[in-house]
Structure formats: C-alpha cells, structure tokens
Amino acid sequence: MLIRPKTTLVVIATLWMLGGGIALGEQPDSDNVVSREEYDNLKKEFEAFREQMLKTNQNRAPAKMDQETQEYLQYLETELGVVKDLALASQQGSTKFLVTGYATAGFTDRRGENSTFDAGFNPIFLWELNDRLLFEGEIELELPGDAETETNLEYANASYLVNDYVTVGAGKFLTPFGIFNERLHPAWINKLPDRPLPYGSEGGLAPVSSTGAFVRGGIPVGKTMKGNYAFFLSNGPELNIGDVAASEAGSLKFHNNADSNNNKAFGGRVGFLPIPELEAGYSFMYFQAQPDGFTNVDVVLHAIDVSYIRDSDALGGVIDARFEWVWSDVDDATYDADGSLGFGPTRFNNSRDGGYAQVAYRPSKNGNKVIKKLEGVVRYDWLNNPNGAPESFDEERYTCGLNYWLTPSTVVKAAYQMDNKDNGANDADAFLVQAAIGF
Amino acid sequence: MLRSRVESKNLIPAVATATVMLIGLTILGCQRPETTDRKAVEPEGHPQAQAEAVPIKGRAQMWSENCMRCHNIRDPKSLSDTEWQVALHQMRVRGNLLAEEHKGILELMQAGN
C-alpha cells in the first residue's frame, strides 16, 4: 500500500492535535487548579456557611410558629362563632326563670296513732319578667293517709318593685303575720319535723296564706339599724260553726279562697332590727268571720315575734333563738243554736293564745367534720283554747331534736316530743324523723 | 254590733298610720336615686362595678347577716348568675331586704361564680 506524504502529514497532524488536545486537557491550568489547601479552606467556608444556614433556619422557626398560631386562632375564631350561635339560639330572652323548692321524707310514731311514713314535694316556680316584676308560685304535693296525692296551691302572686322602699303585689301569698309561716315553714328551714302549735296547718291561730294584695319593703333606720313592713288586704277567714266536728266550733277556717262576706281582712307586720342579729316584730289582722245566719263576728289577731341569730367565734358556732306569741280574739257567738249538730246551743268566750320558744345551736366552727354538722334543737310550744268550747283542751309540748346537715340545704332531723293536754284529752308523745332537701 | 264598731274604730289609727307611712315611703323612695335598677350590677372588674359596688367586706356581711336570719347560707356556685338574680329578687320581696343589700348580695354571689 502506497502511503502518500501529504496524507501522512495530515495523519500526523491529526494525531498530534488529538494527543496535544488530550495532553492539554490533562495538564492543570494555573487559573483553574484548586490546591489541597484551597480545598480545605473552601470546605471550612462551606461548613461555616452550612452552620450559618442552619442557624438562619432556626431563627426562622418562630415565624413558622406564628403562622401555626394564626391558623389556630382562626380555628378558635370559627369555633367561637359556632358556640356564639349556639348560645344565641338557646338564649331565653330577657325574662328569667328558676325552679326551686324542697322535698321531704318522714316517719312519725305518735302515741295513740299508727306509725306512718310520709313524703312531700313542694316545687317553687320563680319568673322574673324584668328587674322589677317577679312572679312566684309554689305547689304543695302531699300524700294524705287515705286518699290520692293532694295538690295545693300554696301561693301564686306577682310583685312589683315600685322604688327602693316600696314593693306591691297581688295574688295568693304567704301571710305576713308573725314570721314562721312566711319565712320558716319550708322543711329545710324549719329546724324541727313539725310546726309549732299556733302555726299548725290544722287548729292553728294564724293563716298560712291569704288571697288579696300587699305592700311591703325594707327601710334603713340610721346608719346601722333597719326596719321592715308588710301590709295586706285579703279575703277574710270564716268562722267554723262546728258542723264537721264539735271540737272545731269557734275556730277559724283560714283556707278561704273565696270570701264568705264582703268584709275583707286587713293586717300586716312591722319589724325592727336594732342590730343585725336581733329582730322584733308586731303583727295584727282584723276581719269579720260570720258565715250565713250569724250576726257580725269581729276577729282581731295579734302576734309578737323576737329572733336572735348569731354566728359567734366565742360560741364556736351558730345560735338561733326564736320566740312568737299569737293571740286570737273572736266575738262571742251562739253555736248550734237549734241543737241540730248535737252539741248546742252553746256560747263561750272565744279567746285563744299560743306560742313557741325555740333555741338551736350548731357547733359549726368545731374542727371535727361530723360534730360541726350536728345541730341540737329545743322547743316549747303551747296552745290555750276557750274553756267553754265543746271538747276543748289546752296543750303544751316539749320537743328535743338533733339535726345532721349533709349540705347547707339538706338535713336529717330526729326529734322526740312530749305532749301534755288537759281536760282529759290523751297526751300524744311522738317520735319524729324527717329528711328535707332544699334545692 | 256595738262591739264590732268599737273594735273597728280601734283599728282606725293603725290603718291611718300605715297609710301615711306608705305614702311617705312612696314619695321618699321616688325622690331618691334608685338602687332597684339592676343595670348598675355589672360583672366583677367592670369599671362601673368597681365604681358603684358595695365593698367586699360589706357584701359578705350583708350575705351572712341577712340569709342566716332564716336559713343556712348557700354556696354561690349552687346557682348560676342568672338564677341568683331571680332567687335574690324573691328574697328581696320575702325577706324585706334593703335595695342596697339586694344589690350587694347579688354582686357577691355573681363574683363567687
């Protein structure tokens, strides 16, 4: 094969160029060469830069948290909006309603009678229509011994606050005569299982409730003393003529929802508190009680009451002392005039009186958690009836009780009552137990 | 009949006294700035409440003195703020509380909730 010189030169040149190119490519360029030292320096710089970047990222974390917080706040705002909507949907409006009241369970073992359990439930409905207007109503549900559940409307009235000193109202209301019926009769407040004789629901001397209108209020007297008043005009009670039981002749029927004559009852109570712990009051009530067929029978009731309640460190607890005395003066009348009722005709001086004195002590400051919830109670009550009245007798009782307060409005009461009647009536000593819950 | 007239006359001074007293209280009460309006009762810490509220000690004293006169004092937490408004309205009427006492005890009960 013939190799031409020109071709040879081209090949040589090409090989040289390739070889030179290769050689030039492998040869370090002084501008681009990185020495080991430079490399290490660059590595250090890189590490420093890396650390700086990490720090920067760490510094940026709060910004990330802020964003999360903002998202959470937005979530909360949304949820709050939902809750607000729910609250607005369930809002009762401007009027306010409250169901309160009390319930009882009791046991009575009285001499001459069968021992028995009993129960009661007294729901109270309060409806405040505005800051001045209030409706209150109490329904009394009882279990009488020989009948279905008995329902009584204890009270139902509306009152209006005229100004700081005057409140007016109308309806059926607890009679502001004495303090027991109006303030102390609820079972969780009354410190003994039963009522004192002058305020008994049967045979008592004063009305539990009245139907009519009232005006009342409290007034400051000087800087530390104060007074209060309550006056009412209502349907008057009616004279009991003894048509159901001769022993009731001359007593008063206070459960008189409709007046038996046009003469209304007028009464009230005025109280004075010289010191906060002491209150004294005077009550009166006047009405005519004659039923059909009787001439006018005027009735005047009077009562005084004194209360002293003190929570004392020196006494180690609370002492609660109360005293009330009621007088009833009913015009003389002739009962069973034609003798058809079998006990007349009879006429007698129809004056009665009764009262009670009660002292309770609770060592509420005692360190023992059981003793501090105990409360001892002693009460003496009496009722003097007219001597000439049919089957009449005077009565006095001594009652000793021990209470245990489970909560401030829940109490278990146990008491023993010694009864003493004159005119040959049987004494009726009794053992009484009652649990009461105020809610 | 004669006796009833006599006894009725005996009550005339009492009725007259009561009437005069009521008229006087109504006039006096209407002239005086009222505490009855419960708009003044604001939540604890509210500027208006701080300005107008009865001092704490006074309120606690009102609470114990007035409530204990009839029954044990109850835990403020036993009722809500709204329920206390209703309950104390009833106690104002039944217990003849002074307007200031009504307001002070209500503030204390609501603050305790």
B20 and B60 assigned to the same domain = no
Q: What are the phi and psi torsion angles at A332 (to 5°)? A: -65, 145
Among the four given CATH numbers 2.40.160, 2.30.30, 2.60.40, 1.10.3470, the one describing domain A122-373? 2.40.160
Asked if A169 is an interface residue toward chain B (Cβ–Cβ < 8 A), one would say yes
Q: Do B39 and A163 touch (CB under 8 A)?
A: no
B93 and B46 assigned to the same domain = yes
Does B22 have pLDDT greater than 70?
yes
Structurally, chain B folds into a number of domains equal to: 2
B10 and B58 assigned to the same domain = no
SS3 of residue A366 by DSSP: coil
Contacts 24+ apart (CB under 8 A), A156-160: A157/A214, A158/A133, A158/A134, A159/A133, A159/A134, A159/A214, A159/B93, A160/A132, A160/A133, A160/A134
| DSSP per-residue codes, B18-67 | HHHHHHHHHHHHHHSPPS--GGG---TT-HHHHHHPPPHHHHHHHHHHHH
Facing B25 at nearest CB: one of A166, A169, A288: A166
| Model confidence band, residue A105 (pLDDT cutoffs 50, 70, 90) | very high
The C-alpha torsion from B37 through B43 and B47 to B50, rounded to 10°, is 80
Facing A408 at nearest CB: one of B29, B61, B72: B72
B26 and B46 assigned to the same domain = no
The pLDDT tens digits of the residues spanning A305-332 come to 999 999 999 999 999 999 999 999 999 9
Mutate to test the interface with B, among A92, A134, A163, A275 (most CBs of B within 10 A): A163
B55 and B101 assigned to the same domain = yes
Q: Which residues of A touch B39 (CB under 8 A)?
A: 131
DSSP type of residue B85: H
Cis peptide before A345 (omega within 30 of 0): yes
B53 and B2 assigned to the same domain = no
Report the distance separating Cα B24 and Cα B18, nearest Å: 10
Q: Locate tokens 């009879």: which residue?
A: A346
Report the distance separating Cα A439 and Cα A431, nearest Å: 26
| Model confidence band, residue B113 (pLDDT cutoffs 50, 70, 90) | confident
Question: How close does chain B come to A405, measured CA to CA in Å?
Answer: 10
B46 and B73 assigned to the same domain = yes
Tell me what pLDDT residue B49 has. Answer: 45
B87 and B64 assigned to the same domain = yes
DSSP type of residue A120: E
Measured CA to CA in angstroms, residue A313 lies from A317, A358, A359, A364, B62 at distances of 6, 21, 18, 10, 18
Q: Tell me the average pLDDT of chain A.
A: 88
Bridge partners, A128 (sequence order): A96, A134
| Model confidence band, residue A33 (pLDDT cutoffs 50, 70, 90) | low
B51 and B101 assigned to the same domain = yes
Question: How close does chain A come to B83, measured CA to CA in Å?
Answer: 6
Q: Are the C-beta atoms of residues A137 and A124 closer than 8 Å to each other?
A: yes
Asked if A283 is an interface residue toward chain B (Cβ–Cβ < 8 A), one would say no
Amino acid of residue A401: G
Q: Which of A88-92, A391-395, A416-420 has the highest mean pLDDT?
A: A416-420
Cβ neighbourhood burial of A357 (10 Å; 0-12, 13-18, 19+): middle
CA proximity to A135, closest of A124, A120, A119, A148? A124
Q: Do B83 and A182 touch (CB under 8 A)?
A: no
Report the distance separating Cα A46 and Cα A56, nearest Å: 15
Q: Are the C-beta atoms of residues A232 and A210 closer than 8 Å to each other?
A: yes
B89 and B59 assigned to the same domain = yes
B24 and B59 assigned to the same domain = no
Task: Work out the average pLDDT over A26-47.
Answer: 69
Report the distance separating Cα A378 and Cα A396, nearest Å: 14
Q: Do A96 and B8 touch (CB under 8 A)?
A: no
Asked if A309 is an interface residue toward chain B (Cβ–Cβ < 8 A), one would say yes
Report the distance separating Cα A182 and Cα A214, nearest Å: 13
Q: Which residues of B touch A100 (CB under 8 A)?
A: 87
Q: How many CB pairs under 8 A join A and B?
A: 137
The pLDDT tens digits of the residues spanning A78-90 come to 999 998 888 877 7
Containing domain of residue B12, as a range? 1-32
Q: What are the phi and psi torsion angles at A341 (to 5°)? A: -90, -10
B47 and B101 assigned to the same domain = yes
Assigned token pair, A290? 């004659």
Q: Are the C-beta atoms of residues A404 and A433 closer than 8 Å to each other?
A: no
Q: Tell me the average pLDDT of chain B.
A: 75
Does A348 have pLDDT greater than 50?
yes
CA proximity to A285, closest of A322, A254, A240? A254
Q: Locate tokens 């490519």: which residue?
A: A25
Q: Which residues of B touch A229 (CB under 8 A)?
A: 18, 21, 96
Does B13 have pLDDT greater than 50?
yes
Amino acid of residue A200: G
Does A260 have pLDDT greater than 70?
yes
- H/E segment holding residue A415: strand A410-421
Q: Are the C-beta atoms of residues A256 and A276 closer than 8 Å to each other?
A: no
